[in-house]
Amino acid sequence: MKITFAAILISVFSVFCFAQDNSIEKDFEKNKSKYKIERLSMGEDASSGYDYVIYRNKSEIVKYRVIWSSSAGPNPRVEDYYFNDSKLVLLVKSILSKKLVKTAAKGRVVALQIEEKLFFINEKLSFWTEKGKPVPNTDKRWKDKEAEALEQAKGELDNYKFVKDN
């Protein structure tokens, strides 16, 4: 009886986590036309660089997309940071086909191969998936992954000012 009850509870909480997944991205897509879009780029060297696609609601950044690509390297990487009141709520790390880099850099919807999704509530990692599979909060990497993602998000917001000014 206890095992059955525990299984039901886990299922219910999993549904809430996946609902959170859909709601953040769906809410963004639903409101996307209301946001101002900025496109910036910065070269790393002659063969690689970064493209940024930033969606803002007035002065607040709602989504910050970073696309790293290299003509000599592996597939381009995409990191989508979703913010609410300047707090990270979702980080999606993906791989992009090289032929879609220019399309993605224009802010258009492209097919991505999702590697990781990290969900946050009040700057605490609440749910994490790798290649579509949930990572349990008992995983030894949990705290490090939380700190790393929050620091990356802060760094990208700081980097926005630098890239825009230069």
pLDDT digits (tens, 9 = 90+) for 125-145: 999 999 999 999 999 999 999
Q: At residue 51, does pLDDT exceed 70? A: yes
Min mean pLDDT across 6-15, 62-71, 108-117, 128-137 is at: 6-15
Tokens 């939380």 -> residue: 146
Judge whether 122 and 155 are in contact, CB under 8 Å: no
Q: Spell out the domain ranges in the chain.
A: 2-165
Q: What percent of the chain has pLDDT over 70?
A: 85
Model confidence at 22, in pLDDT bands (50, 70, 90)?
A: low
Look at residue 18 and tell me whether its pLDDT is greater than 50: no
CA distance 136 to 13: 13
d(CA 120, CA 153): 12
Residues 91 and 81: beta-carbon distance below 8 Å: yes
Higher pLDDT, 109 or 20: 109
Residue 72 has pLDDT above 50, yes or no: yes
- pTM as predicted: 0.84
